[in-house]
Amino acid sequence: MTRTRLSALAATAALATTGGLITAAPAAAAVTCASPAWRAQYFGNATFSGTPKLTVCDTVISEKYGYGDPAGVTLPKDNFSVRWSLSRDFGSGGPFRLSAATQDGMRVYVDGVRKIDLWKNVSTTARRTVDLTIPAGKHTIRVDYVAWTGYASAAFTYAPRTQAAVDRVKPLAPTGLTAAYDRATARTTLRWAANKEMDIAGYRVYRRLSTTSWARVSGASLLTTRSFVDAPPATGQTFLYEVRAVDKAGRESTGSLDVTATTADRTGPAAPAGLTVVSDAWWATLNWQAVGDAAKYQVYAASSATGPFELLGTTTTTSYRTDAPVNANQYYRVRGVDALGNPGAYAAVTGDGVDRTPPGSPAGLNSLARPGYTAVYWTAPGGRWSEDFGNGGHYRVYRSPGKTFDPAARTEVTCADEGSDEASNRGACVDRDMPVNTYVTYAVTAVDPDGNESAYSAPLVVRTGDSVPPGPVTGVKVTPRDDGMLVSWAASPEDDIDEYVVWKGVRQADGTVKWLGPDTCWEGTGNWLAILCGNLPDGETHVYAVTAKDHWGNALRPSDPKVTVVEATELDVRPSVTVTRDWSLGGPGHNRTATRPSVDWQCTDTARCATVTGYRVSRWNPATKAYEPQHDGLLPADARTWEDATATKGNTYFYTLEAVTADGAVVGTYPWYIVFQDRV
């Protein structure tokens, strides 16, 4: 025989071994062959009937029996048969080629289905090749061989077809992946189980963080062993691993189940990004972007680019301020340090000591406008401005026409009086060159000793002063009412009006007007274009005038020829019945400003007051031309006040208060009136 057979040396001896060696047994014994070895059964007939004469395990089917029976077993020279069978896991399956070469008969079955049929007694070798696809998983192949007469040989192979154009089935994902991290060596050892496919070319190992994509770490060549040692970055992070199988067609499997390895943290933070240095006189301010795992930052400086660098300090913020030489290079390095004390990479920047930092902007602009000048006030910038100001810093005041600050149309103001009280943090400028009687807008900047100018302050719109009174008020109208004279007028078209003044006067015999002053009409109406002259409407004739007063106190006098004068006569609402005051019992008084008219009195003449049994309040009724009592019966003898609950605004009321004795006699009379103005 020219085959590789794991068989018995003697048909009657049972040779048992361990450790993967195959057992050859007598025909009657049960033989199990480890996959993928073939289980070969030898029969002394051509029909595979009866008990096999021998059962052995073969690694291949490649037999040349010649003209005699197989060695190691007693079989007839002709008409004997052999049956080989195996079951194995084909993994992902795929395209396979079955190849048979036989003399005499051979049949091949896959999962009981015949795939090759060379069942003839032949005098030359018969051959057959079959291409087929074997599904994934476990399958059984059986080869039946018969030697009828003459020369005898049998050969059979099955092999995957690995051409990329043919094999389009990728391997199954590897299984059994484990990871063991050694903190002493900072290495991860990975191991996994072999794939079941017959066409595996090797394996690839991939690694990633939970937030990143997979990256191959096993190199460009395929791994042909089932273990790998990786050196992940010692950052204290948890890395994920997976293994993928690659077949001979170059197709890669999906990843195995992930395993993790948490590394020791021996890596400092990344170099801070965005490091800048800004000079401000003899100070330098460094700023940088935060680094995720930095617990603090170390700041170094040197006068030379090559050092030596001196540690200036440590900070937990992303900014550091230090003194620095003026107009000279200074070299800085900043690095982060994590919570375990691992220092990171340096970021570097060079400062030249040139002050390019403008101060902050002045704030809180305010003004005082007067005819001939405008004073502008502001609050000084914060920060180091007092230091800058003390070393030659100053302010610039700009003015542009209109209500919007326009830098293109600005004029720098020459301040007639300029002051800065650093103790109160205030600045001031008096502008005597501004246009009058119009709107201008101011903005102020701060300039440090190196000429760096701040941004503009918030603009301030100012109506400049003048000494010209507003023009005459038009539309003046005077309307007599039961509670006085309502004076109304049209709004002035000028935009600097602060108030309107209503004048009341008396026409003299010579035609001139004696003005009584602007304080004779003061009752409000809720409308700044009207006012109520609320004196007693007693039929008097007066003249009225309205003048406008601007922000600066300019106003026309009522005697000015341009002022409109309106003459009007009051209503006469006085009673036609004359009442003589006859009250000597004590001091009465009435309230003109209460929400309702009221009167209060005293009764201090002991002898006469003892005779008073009650009081009566009456009100003049213009319709009946009589004073009518305002209550039933008399008010009690001890009453000392009364309020008119029925009076309404916009009227003038006349009253009498009478003290009455038991016989009905009146021993004291007090008349009074109230102009109950409607101010709404």
pLDDT at 586: 84
Omega of the bond prior to 308 within 30 degrees of 0, cis?
A: yes
Encode pLDDT of 389-412 as tens digits: 888 899 999 999 999 999 999 999
525: confidence class by pLDDT, cuts 50, 70, 90: low
Q: How far is Cα 275 from Cα 288, in angstroms, rounded to an integer?
A: 4
pLDDT at 421: 60
Say whether pLDDT at 246 is over 80: yes
Are the C-beta atoms of 204 and 170 separated by less than 8 Å? no
Encode pLDDT of 93-104 as tens digits: 999 999 999 999
DSSP 47: S
Type of residue at 607: A
Encode pLDDT of 137-195 as tens digits: 999 999 999 999 999 999 999 999 999 999 999 999 999 999 999 999 999 999 999 99
pLDDT at 303: 95
* Torsion sign across C-alpha atoms 43, 49, 52, 58: positive
Q: How far is Cα 330 from Cα 332, in angstroms, rounded to an integer?
A: 7
CA angle 517, 521, 522 (to 5 degrees): 120
Beta strand 484-488 with 497-507 is: unpaired
Q: In what order do the strands lie in the sheet with 439-447?
A: 411-412, 394-401, 439-447, 460-463
The pLDDT > 90 percentage for the chain reads 81
Is pTM beyond 0.75? Reply is no
Encode pLDDT of 529-551 as tens digits: 999 888 899 999 999 999 999 99
Quote the mean pLDDT of the chain: 91
Say whether pLDDT at 10 is over 50: no
pLDDT at 526: 67
Question: Computed over its alpha carbons, how large is the radius of gyration of the chain?
Answer: 60
Encode pLDDT of 205-242 as tens digits: 999 999 999 999 999 999 999 999 999 999 899 999 99
Q: What are phi and psi of 512, to 5 degrees?
A: -75, 170
Are the C-beta atoms of 547 and 531 separated by less than 8 Å? no
Find the mean pLDDT for residues 466-474: 94
Please, what's the b/e burial string for 76-111 (b: 16 or more CB within 10 A of its CB; e: otherwise)? eeebbbbbbebeeebbbbbbbebebbbbbbbbbbbe
To which H or E segment does residue 608 belong?
A: helix 606-609
The pLDDT > 70 percentage for the chain reads 93
Tokens of 628: 């009518």
Residue 613: burial class (beta carbons within 10 Å; 0-12, 13-18, 19+): middle
Q: How far is Cα 334 from Cα 313, in angstroms, rounded to an integer?
A: 10
Omega of the bond prior to 95 within 30 degrees of 0, cis?
A: no
pLDDT at 29: 54
Say whether pLDDT at 348 is over 90: yes
Tokens of 292: 């995720």
Task: Walk me through the domains of the chain, giving residue ranges and CATH numbers.
Answer: 5-160 (2.60.120.260), 178-262 (2.60.40.10), 276-351 (2.60.40.10), 363-463 (2.60.40.10), 477-569 (2.60.40.10), 589-676 (2.60.40.10)
